[in-house]
Copies of this chain bind each other. A is one copy, B any other.
């Protein structure tokens, strides 16, 4: 991931090796901003997060924030997603059901941690900011889903799943209940819940 991978994506200068003239962007400021964003997000939630406060907390001028992120959503998306890469890998246990339930447990653990608050903020804010939701999907959901496809495909190859399985339907059936409880909060979201869902959805797919 390059330095310039903001959500909105300023043109990077990766093609020609030449650095542009002038003072280069302050990496220190960039990190301080993203760090403060996460910090405040955890404290107050998305709608009470102000650019003003982020700038103050990061000891940075407002103009610097606005120079690099067009709006609050982009900032939040960048802050969260940079911190969420390289996580939640899928294991290879040799059984679909166990591969899935283990990864689902990890997701639930993340949702229950302090980072869960940030995800909730992201998805909550995304309900009224399409770009925010888009960022969540592109940078968080799809990368994991691609791995999930492979996991399921291994199950098909092993004969644990029928060859004509609707992968998207299956994944939504597995993860939907988790997101449901996470977002509506009508019932406990424990790690055991992952196993129970697998019990319902992957009844005949090998041992838990």
Contact = CB atoms under 8 A, between A and B. Distances in A.
Interface residues of A, number: 43
Contacts of A186: 137, 141-142
A125 B46 CA distance: 9
Q: Is the interface of A mostly helix, strand, loop or mixed?
A: helix
Number of copies of this protein chain within its complex: 4
A196 interface: yes
Identify which of A128, A170, A185 gathers the most chain B CB atoms within 10 Å of its CB. A128
Interface in A168-208: 168-170, 172-173, 175-181, 183-187, 193, 196-197, 200-201, 203
A77 to B, nearest CB: 14
A123 B183 CA distance: 8
* 6 cross-chain pairs, A with B, having the tightest CB-CB distances, nearest first: A124-B127, A45-B128, A176-B177, A176-B180, A176-B176, A172-B177
Given A46-B127, A172-B187, 5 more contacts: A124-B125, A136-B184, A166-B196, A179-B179, A179-B184
